[in-house]
Structures are given as structure tokens and as C-alpha cells.
Amino acid sequence: MITRNKRHWPTSTLRTNTRFNARRSGILSSLLFAGASLSLSALDLVYQDDFDGDGVELNLGTGAGMEVVFSGTSGNWTDNNENLEFIATTSGGSRAGIATTGQFDLSQGFRLEVTYNVASLTVVKETGHTTLSNRVNFGLVDELIKNEEDETTTRDVFGVSPSNHYGLGFNLTDSASSPTATSPPVGLNFIGGDGIVVPISNGQPFTVGVHTLVLEADMEGNWSYSIDGAEATAGNFSEAGVTFDLTRDYHFYAYGQNDESAFQIVSLTVEATQSETELELEIARSSDGSELDFAWSNSTGTFYDLLSTTDLGLALEAWTPVAKGLSADGSGINTFTTALPADPKTFYVVQETEPLFYASFENDNGGFTAINNSTESIWEHGLPSGGGIGGSVTSGNGGSAGAWGTALTSYYSVGTDTFLRSPVIDLTNVTAASLSFAEAADFLPADTAEVYLIDDETDALIESTPIYISTDTRLTNASWTMVEPISLPASAYGQAVRLEFRFVGTNPGNFLGWYIDDVLVAED
């Protein structure tokens, strides 16, 4: 495990109750301003389907499949290997509704992401209203009313036929020249189980082509939605005079009608907000005023990026990295210090992230492979327990139970020549990355301890020179130290690579060799 300096931090006097949802399967991200204490919510993936040919009823992604719950005059939905497509054969009469077979517990909030394809739009000339050739809508409903004898019960529930459904969703078609409560306009609509559709917002228009819509709602009645990453349209249900009940269990439901097959769902993701945890970011100036000291609570085994910007209008991906791949400190609090920014109006983000590669060697060998180029000592994985005139190594980094070493329990032999190779690290879509790791060194100046990058398939050196050379300047101390991030060379990117730790030793005395732990490759 990686450990860092621990400090005590004063309690901030500035707080905000602003709440930000995390993104994507529990990977946390939240804007945290100086002195802010924010409620951070993780998201649990409860349904995901890319409609890649596994059929409507079967979903090889997350969650059960879907079923056609209503069909009229040859209307149907099908998985065509690329998307979920509404199929119609006659004008007006062809219609069908489809829903997830399972329901979702969204009691603490949710995030719904739908990528859809609108193939055509038709202008109704006598009114000037724009309408889809197919009447379509989709969203979340609590119960499915399946009455095959009465096709009016389960239809376009977020449009002209809410029936007794309860839910929240989008109507993509303006189906009347003069929209009313029972024939609502395009946009986000609430249905309360009483046959009335309540318009919530039409802040972002629907247009032809492939688009991605994200809808979020929380326990406080806040909602927001965005199409193709546009600035979110947001509000509170109370502004429309309604309350959306999250304690109900919900299906995803979609409806199509008419004859041009103009609507497809390319992918569907439903994420449920999980129990909230308090995440605090505290920022303080150093005593001389030249630096900023950061501290935030963490989760064991996680990594964090610290980013900054002077323009809150920028997407998070465009923020400037301050530090990346910071591992969680065992104390439960991460700390970091950086120079005071030139612009006094600078904003900071801390977000949980996944590194390109990480091996702690705590529970296994990390997939590393040892190669012996002689008949002498070879890299070994396990708990170190050696000691000699050059110091002792009796654990992994930070007291952990695992590490790699050239001799775990004794001294390395004269003539040792051994390589340690990592698993494959994919840098295909990476343009900048760094390597860091912990090491304990107990060897002579004449010995060689180097790190190289090698080709994944041929084992050939990517660069003829090492990216790191270790030296032992403390001949009576072999304690663990962190190697500062090493920028990988430009020749490493656009391909799959492996790390190779090479040790060649002579050892005329009682020396332990070279130990490594907590190997991390993080994108810069």
C-alpha cells in the first residue's frame, strides 16, 4: 500500500449544500471548491444494454431483458444487432410499447442515459408544428398496464395516452395543433396516475440524427437533463406543482407509432444513486502564503486526480491536471501541496479515477513474470524478511504483506542477472503517462537496477536506455521510499507495452538486493 505524509487540518468555516452526482458505475466525480463540504453520491449500474444482437428478451449486459408489452396493428420492437428499433407497417395504426422486464429501486435518485436515433421529422404545415413521422416517447413508469383487448391502456404514456400510469419521461412528438394537459408538448413530462400529463420542461429541442440524452433526479426533487452534453436544463418538481415519488420501483418504457420506423434506441443505461457519504475538500494557504495545501477524505484502494480551471464553463475533460493518480492514504485523508495559482479566481476538482495500471502485490503477484538469465538469484514475490549490513526489509511498502524482491529471505548471489516483467499495459489511446512505484534498495554501486519499456509481443526494448536507474546511497538503511512519477517516453504511446525491472548484481558481501511494490502507471 502507498502511504503519504499525514497532517491535521482545520475545520473549514465555508460550507455549501450543493450536491453533485457521481458518474459511471461508481466512479466518483464532484466539484469541490475551497472549504466546501459536499454530499457525494455513488451510482450503481442497474441496467445497461447496447442492443448488439442478443435479442429483446435476453440482455448480455447488466440487468434482465425487455418485453413488448403492447402491440397494435403489426407494430413491434426488435433488436436488429445495432439498436432497438420500432417496426411499423401501416400509417397511424402500427404501434407498440416495450419495457424492461425488471423494475429498478431508484429510491435515492437515478441517472438515465438513452442514446437514440431520430431518422425523420415532418412539419405539419397547417399549424407550423414539428412532429416525428413516428410518435415516440420513453421514460420511467412504475407499473405496466397490459390489457391487450384495450389498446388505449398502454400507449404513448408520456404523450396523449397517460392512462393510469405514474412516471417521468420524454415526449418527442407534438401530437396536437393546440397542446393541452392531455395532449402535451414535446419535452420532459410527469404523469401522476390520474390520466393527466404535466409538462416539466421543453428546454432542449429534439432533432434528427443520433443523440444522447441524460436525465437525473434526486431525493430533494431536483431534476436535470441534457442532450449531447449541452448545458443542463434543470429545476425542481415543485416548480411544476408536482412531487415525483422515488420510493416506487420503475420500469424503463418506450413507445412508437406510425409507418416509417423513424426511431431507434441505440443504448440504454440506468444507474441508481447509492447511499451518500460526506466528502470534504479543505484548502488552506501555507504559512508563507506561497502554496495551497489540500486535504480530502478517501476510500481505501482508490486513486484521485486533482484538476483546476479558471473557467467553470469548460467541460471537466478540459480542466488542467494539478496531480494525477494520487493513491488513497491509509489514514483516510489524502493531502497534497502545490504552488499558489497566478489567478486568484481558480477552481479545483478532486475526482476518483482508475489508473492505466496498478499492482499492490498485496494478495497476489500482480501478474508479473520473473526471468532468470543466470543460475543465481531470481525475482520472488511474497513477504520480505531479510536483513544484513546494508539494512533490513521485513514487509512490503507501508507494512504490507507482499512485494517483489531479488531475494526475499536472504542475500542475492554473485552473478545474479534477473528480469521482472509486468502484465500488458495498454497505451493505445494514451498520449502522456507516468510510472511511479515504491522501492527498497540494498546493493552495491557496481550493481545495476534499471527499468525499461518493452514491446508486448516481441519483448524488444522500446527505448535502448532505461526510463529509471536506481541507486543505493544509504549503505546501512534499506527502508521503502516512493519513486517520483517518471514520464514515459513518446515512443511508448499508441501501443501495448510492458515494464521490465532488470537487476544485475555482484554482491561480495551481505546485501539484500532490490525490492519493488505499488507499481502505478497513470495517465497525465
Q: What's the full length of the chain, in residues?
A: 524
pLDDT tens profile 117-144: 877 655 343 344 444 445 778 999 998 7
CA-CA distance, 91 to 9, in Å (whole number)? 68
DSSP E strands, 367-523: 369-372, 380-382, 386-388, 391-393, 403-405, 416-421, 425-426, 433-442, 448-455, 468-469, 481-487, 496-505, 513-523
* Cell numbers that stand for 368 in this block: 508479473
pLDDT of amino acid 76: 83
pLDDT tens profile 26-85: 222 333 333 333 334 467 889 998 887 777 887 777 787 898 887 776 778 888 888 888
Phi then psi for residue 398, to 5 deg, are 70, 20
**DSSP annotation of 344:** S
Helix (H, G, I), strand (E, B) or coil at 237: helix
pTM score: 0.49
Phi then psi for residue 411, to 5 deg, are -100, 150
Phi then psi for residue 240, to 5 deg, are -100, 5
Count of alpha carbons within 13 Å of 205, Cβ hemisphere only? 8
* Cell numbers that stand for 136 in this block: 415516440
Q: Which helix (H) or strand (E) holds 293?
A: strand 291-297
Q: Which helix (H) or strand (E) holds 179?
A: none
Nearest to 15 by CA among 305, 278, 333: 278
Nearest to 444 by CA among 376, 378, 510: 510
Q: Which helix (H) or strand (E) holds 402?
A: none
* Cell numbers that stand for 519 in this block: 507499481
Nearest to 364 by CA among 395, 398, 403, 329: 403
The CA angle 88-91-94, to the nearest 5 degrees, is 40
pLDDT at 268 > cutoff 70 = yes
Spell out the residues 6+ positions from residue 193 whose beta carbon is closer than 8 angstroms to its own. Answer: 164, 165, 166
DSSP E strands, 219-290: 222-227, 233-236, 249-257, 263-285
pLDDT of amino acid 298: 83
Scanning 131-267, the segments in alpha helix (DSSP H) are none
CA-CA distance, 409 to 394, in Å (whole number)? 9
The proportion of the chain whose per-residue pLDDT surpasses 90, expressed as a percent, equals 37
pLDDT of amino acid 43: 73
CA-CA distance, 83 to 254, in Å (whole number)? 13
pLDDT mean over 184-205:
86
* Cell numbers that stand for 40 in this block: 457525494
- Please measure the distance between the N-terminal and C-terminal CA atoms of the chain and give it in whole angstroms: 21
* Cell numbers that stand for 435 in this block: 510510472
pLDDT of amino acid 83: 87
Amino acid at 316: L
Spell out the residues 6+ positions from residue 89 whose beta carbon is closer than 8 angstroms to its own. Answer: 73, 74, 75, 259
* Cell numbers that stand for 443 in this block: 546493493
Phi then psi for residue 318, to 5 deg, are -95, 0
CA-CA distance, 241 to 219, in Å (whole number)? 16
pLDDT of amino acid 425: 96
pLDDT tens profile 434-446: 999 999 999 888 8
Helix (H, G, I), strand (E, B) or coil at 69: strand
Mean pLDDT for all residues in the chain = 80
8 Å CB contact between 28 and 85: no
* Cell numbers that stand for 18 in this block: 450543493
The CA angle 245-246-250, to the nearest 5 degrees, is 105
User: To which residue does cell 500500500 refer?
Assistant: 1
Would you tell me how many other CB atoms lie within 10 Å of the CB of residue 482? 18
User: Which of 3-17, 90-104, 374-388, 460-474 is predicted least confidently?
Assistant: 3-17
Quote the longest CA-to-CA distance of the chain: 97
* Cell numbers that stand for 97 in this block: 410499447
* Cell numbers that stand for 80 in this block: 436488429
pLDDT tier for residue 25 given thresholds of 50, 70 and 90: very low
pLDDT of amino acid 154: 55
Long-range contacts of 473-476 (CB under 8 A, 24+ apart): 474/391, 474/441, 475/390, 476/389, 476/390, 476/391
CA-CA distance, 514 to 235, in Å (whole number)? 59
